[in-house]
Structure 1
Amino acid sequence: MLRIDLLLTEQGLAKSRAQAQTFISEGRVSYKLNEQWLKATKPSIKLPLDITLRVTQDDADKYVSRGALKLEGALQHTQLTIEHFHVLDIGQSTGGFSDCVIQHGAAKVVGVEVGHGQLDKRLLDNDKIVCLEGINARNLSAEDLKGHLPDGGFDLVVMDVSFISQTKILPQLPSLLKSAGHLITLVKPQFEVGKAFIGKGGIVKNPARVAQLSTDIQAFVTALGFTVQCYIESPIKGGDGNQEYLLWAIRN
């Protein structure tokens, strides 16, 4: 007998125990017992080693992370065509946004990440994707990009950062974008509104403060020399359950 989250990894249905637990929490895992398919409700359930398991396919499976669906939602809403774009990905992490833009036709992605060793192995050998690690984006400059800054600047900057306010990073971006270049950033209220507005489990539940954030972040971006095109809800919530938002702006 073995825990079902471990069985999923043993049978190659999940890349890691953490991913297996995510699949279970999303209600995507079933097991066949006495000729009946039963849904797994918790990762600790113990089953025989030869049990037949099934993971229901999801839209996110075509990407290295579910975060890619957030950016995909923005691209679908804006109908922005990014074929042949040179893209800067701030907060690259496992590479969800990088994966998304490459699959939508971008020519190259330069990723910036403060951590190390997070990029999914499926992207490591992709010559269209560059990963620059150990860089704090609040101090980002052309020199940090180690010769990967395109002549005239990037066509598009995408950003997904946590545990820091975007207002600490956004001022560095105009100089890295070409004239009329695009910005698509994921706005996470839990890292923007202040601790006083964060409730149990890290959830922001004050609608007035969330509405004020929309006004404030758009004004901030406008003051940096952008024209905001839209500010929309992310098609999926953050891992902690917070509603997140996507802002699209064009550099003046």
Structure 2
Amino acid sequence: MIAVEMQSQVVMRLDKYLVDEGYFESRNRALEAIKSGSVTVDKKRVKPSTRVDHNSHIEIADEKFFVSRAGRKLDNFLAEYTMELNDKKALDIGSSTGGFAQILLERGVSSLTCVDVGSDQLHFSLREDSRVSLYEGQDIRDFEVKEEFEVITCDISFISILQVIDDIDRFTKASSDIIILYKPQFEVGRDIRRDSRGVVQDLDAIDKKRREFEAKARLLDWQLKYQSPSKIRGKEGNQEYLYHFQKSK
């Protein structure tokens, strides 16, 4: 537990103060910590908008740092389901800030190839790791490298996983482990009913699309080893799912 001592007598929002003083690197990270109860004021859970001053007793739980929410999702998944990643050659598709990449590196992969259509997103702490090869501004469907990988992870948004699944398979070999973060909100189509936040309301449509995805995986000789609902939902509140497949041949 970290006890925070405010030096200034200025009254300000809790989330802004924590970022300004360097306890969190962004407002979003401070918001997550406050909402999860990891930050308390005067021994009480509070809202991010709570006003604090030099009389406020602020405490922060000394918990693990994640570069993004995706890292928490994968970390939770691997906590409930054991996989051996040490000394394996890995490919991370849709690396973005590096949530999945962080966990793969922490679990000892020997090398990690990160591919993302965006640029300047990967957290600086991961860029400095000598095991990382970063390909930015690169669509996996156009990506070419003469390598096969023992571990492949995929966390993509705004397009269906079915649009890239054949390209994921291009980089597998027998016994490759494949971890997919499946996001129904990008699978069911724009015409499917959603609430005001963007949460998909048609559960039948979600089930149908998941079955289609699982059927396609079988056609590629991906053996389903384990799947579980993510303990952390998508940003809008959609339930997402983590899958572990193994290439059978």
Query: If the TM-score is normalised by the length of the shorter chain, which range does it land in?
Result: 0.7 to 0.9
- Residues 77 and 47 (structure 1 numbering): CA distance in 2 closer, same or farther, change over 3 Å? closer
- Residues 123 and 49 (structure 1 numbering): CA distance in 2 closer, same or farther, change over 3 Å? farther
Q: What residue number does 1:46 align with?
A: 51
Q: Unaligned 5+ residue runs, structure 1? A: 143-148
Structure holding more helix per residue = 1
Structure holding more strand per residue = 1
Q: What residue number does 1:104 align with?
A: 107
Q: Which amino acid aligns with 1:199?
A: R
Q: What residue number does 2:4 align with?
A: none
Q: What residue number does 2:60 align with?
A: 55
Check if 1:228 corresponds to 2:224: yes
State the Cα distance separating 1:198 from its structure 2 match. 4.1
State the Cα distance separating 1:90 from its structure 2 match. 0.5
Question: 2:19, 2:120 → 1: CA distance?
Answer: 21
CA RMSD of aligned residues (A): 2.0
- Which stretch shifts more, 184-193 or 62-71? 62-71
Question: 1:20, 1:74 → 2: CA distance?
Answer: 23
After superposition, residues 139-178 of structure 1 pair within 5 angstroms as 139-142=142-145, 149-150=146-147, 153-178=148-173
- Is 1:8–1:53's contact at 8 Å kept on the other side of the alignment? no
The alignment covers a number of residue pairs equal to 237
Where 1:177 maps in the other structure, the secondary structure is: coil
Question: 2:162, 2:143 → 1: CA distance?
Answer: 13
Q: What residue number does 2:38 align with?
A: 28
Q: Which amino acid aligns with 1:207?
A: L
- Is 1:214–1:231's contact at 8 Å kept on the other side of the alignment? no
Q: Unaligned 5+ residue runs, structure 2? A: 1-10
State the Cα distance separating 1:133 from its structure 2 match. 0.6
Alignment match of 1:210 (pick from 202, 206, 209): 206
After superposition, residues 48-197 of structure 1 pair within 5 angstroms as 48=53, 51-58=56-63, 61-142=64-145, 149-150=146-147, 153-197=148-192
State the Cα distance separating 1:115 from its structure 2 match. 0.9
State the Cα distance separating 1:50 from its structure 2 match. 7.0
Q: Which amino acid aligns with 1:203?
A: V
Q: TM-score, normalised by structure 1?
A: 0.85
